[in-house]
């Protein structure tokens, strides 16, 4: 696999020449300053591409070309937005950038409740705590009928937490769930001077009455329109699994398990209709067997995210070391190296450690934690490649 790295553009404190020193071969990035729904012009793409090339690297993957929510809820402006999307795709194709990651999660991309859970070794990790999520939903958002989605036991715990939580902790929770984790992804949910909770509630209402089947049909509609353009330019579209792989805040999610992915890949038959195999996102659902899924979707995977999670019995989860946890990355790497060896791969969500603690990097995207993970992944890849070369499988 090609060793790539998510880089957040020229404003990223982690620069391209730093990345070359740690063995990165390809760049994964987006035009982070362009508003979601607007056209990516050839000039903008070319400027970013030339910057990467002049640093001796290549732009391997776009992550993401974001899909506007109005396409997801089938708003009246969706056809206009889809046309814009097609123009952006064509412009990327003309500039030679041919792998595009996107997601179809309504309103909120990845969800975590704590961005720096302290581990016993002193590192910090991303954490998803179901109780904190329920608390946020029921007591902070005060979402109508939210109570129906939690058990009596969970609601009792929410009431108890309500008596003990401080105002500071509440602000931190809001910041973690809807501000910090979202703000570097297509410029976030919350605009300048907006109250985060109000902004989030407004966005949620666009999806009132939209269930799983509706969202699937809206994805199919989108794919039917954009895939011919992708095919024409040889672009591989790779949908990113939902993170976490289950519904949140009453919103439907449609990329959570094997059936969902099969449904999407079969909904529109096209060589451009593919998957981002995010081992970490999939591993956070106890219903998913990540290795089995890697085997199943290896030929339709066009981009790989390597990370792993540790899932507690009650469903809480945290990022595990890349060498442990539910994702079984050794086996996943073995499958991809054997059967689809040239895919771009990036490590995801490293631990917060050492000098990075005060650096203010995007959550999950520190330098040293990811560098450490990349070294672990490189080691696994080297062993697997050795097995393949020496035919240790036969």
Interface residue list for ligand DNO (CB under 6 A): 63-64, 101-103, 109-110, 185, 240, 243, 364
CA gap 49, 215 in Å, rounded: 34
- Please state the closest distance from residue 15 (CB atom) to ligand DNO, in A: 20
Give the dihedral of Cα atoms 136, 140, 142, 143; nearest 10 deg.
-40
CA gap 226, 16 in Å, rounded: 32
Helix (H) / strand (E) element for 94: namely: helix 78-94
Q: Strand, coil or helix: what is 13?
A: coil
Catalytic residue flag (residue 278):
yes
- Helix then strand count (H, E) for the chain reads 14, 12
- Please state the closest distance from residue 315 (CB atom) to ligand DNO, in A: 19
Adjacent-strand bridge partners of 319:
309
Catalytic residue flag (residue 365):
yes
Q: Which of 109, 150, 240, 322 is catalytic?
A: 240
Q: Which of 135, 349, 356, 361 is catalytic?
A: 349
Nearer to ligand DNO, 255 or 311 (CB): 255
Q: Look up residue 56 and give its DSSP letter.
A: T
Q: Which of 278, 302, 322, 356 is catalytic?
A: 278
Q: Which of 68, 305, 310, 322 is catalytic?
A: 305
Nearer to ligand DNO, 138 or 349 (CB): 349
Nearer to ligand DNO, 144 or 359 (CB): 359
Nearer to ligand DNO, 3 or 146 (CB): 3
Closest CA to 367 of 383, 350, 384, 381: 350
Residue 192 falls in which region: left (phi positive, over 0), alpha (psi -120 to 50) or beta: beta
Q: Rounded to 5 degrees, what are φ and ψ at 104? A: -130, 35
- Count of beta carbons in the 10 Å neighbourhood of residue 102: 18
Q: Look up residue 361 and give its DSSP letter.
A: P
Nearer to ligand DNO, 52 or 306 (CB): 306
Nearer to ligand DNO, 33 or 169 (CB): 33
- Please state the closest distance from residue 156 (CB atom) to ligand DNO, in A: 32
CA gap 303, 1 in Å, rounded: 9
- Please state the closest distance from residue 385 (CB atom) to ligand DNO, in A: 26
CA gap 16, 14 in Å, rounded: 7
Q: Which of 69, 109, 137, 348 is catalytic?
A: 348
Give the dihedral of Cα atoms 156, 162, 163, 168; nearest 10 deg.
150
Catalytic residue flag (residue 51):
no
Nearer to ligand DNO, 19 or 67 (CB): 67
CA gap 5, 368 in Å, rounded: 13
Question: What Rg value do the Cα atoms of the chain yield, rounded?
Answer: 20
Cα–Cα distances (Å) from 288 to 17, 279, 303, 326, 345, in that order, read: 38, 10, 19, 9, 21
List, by residue number, the catalytic residues: 240, 278, 305, 348-349, 365
């Amino acid at each position: 696999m090609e060793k790539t790295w998510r880089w957040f553009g020229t404003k990223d404190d982690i620069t391209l020449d730093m990345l070359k020193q740690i063995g990165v071969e390809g760049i994964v990035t987006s035009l982070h300053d362009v508003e979601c729904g607007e056209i990516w012009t050839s000039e903008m793409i070319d400027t970013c591409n030339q910057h990467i090339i002049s640093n001796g690297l290549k732009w391997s993957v776009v992550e993401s070309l974001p899909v506007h929510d109005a396409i997801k809820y089938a708003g009246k402006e969706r056809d206009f937005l889809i046309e814009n999307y097609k123009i952006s795709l064509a412009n990327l194709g003309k500039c030679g950038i041919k792998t595009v990651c996107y997601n179809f999660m309504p309103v909120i991309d990845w969800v975590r409740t704590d961005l720096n859970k302290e581990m016993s070794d002193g590192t910090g990790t991303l954490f998803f705590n179901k109780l904190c999520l329920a608390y946020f939903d029921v007591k902070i958002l005060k979402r109508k009928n939210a109570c129906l989605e939690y058990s009596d036991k969970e609601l009792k715990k929410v009431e108890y937490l309500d008596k003990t939580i401080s105002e500071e902790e509440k602000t931190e929770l809001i910041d973690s769930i809807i501000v910090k984790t979202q703000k570097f992804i297509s410029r976030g949910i919350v605009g300048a001077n907006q109250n985060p909770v109000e902004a989030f509630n407004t966005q949620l209402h666009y999806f009132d009455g939209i269930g799983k089947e509706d969202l699937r049909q809206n994805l199919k509609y989108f794919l039917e329109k954009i895939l011919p353009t992708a095919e024409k330019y040889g672009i591989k579209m790779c949908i990113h699994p939902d993170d976490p792989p289950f519904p949140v805040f009453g919103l439907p999610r449609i990329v959570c398990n094997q059936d969902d992915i099969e449904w999407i890949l079969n909904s529109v038959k096209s060589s451009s209709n593919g998957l981002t195999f995010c081992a970490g996102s999939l591993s956070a659902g106890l219903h998913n067997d990540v290795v089995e899924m890697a085997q199943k979707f290896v030929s339709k995977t066009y981009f790989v995210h390597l990370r792993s999670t540790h899932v507690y019995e009650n469903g809480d989860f945290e990022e595990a070391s890349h060498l442990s946890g539910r994702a079984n990355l050794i086996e996943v790497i073995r499958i991809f190296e054997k059967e689809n060896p040239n895919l771009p791969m990036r490590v995801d969500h490293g631990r917060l450690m050492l000098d990075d603690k005060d650096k203010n990097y995007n959550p999950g995207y520190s330098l040293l934690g990811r560098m450490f993970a990349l070294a672990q992944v490189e080691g696994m890849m080297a062993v697997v490649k050795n097995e393949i070369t020496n035919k240790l499988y036969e």
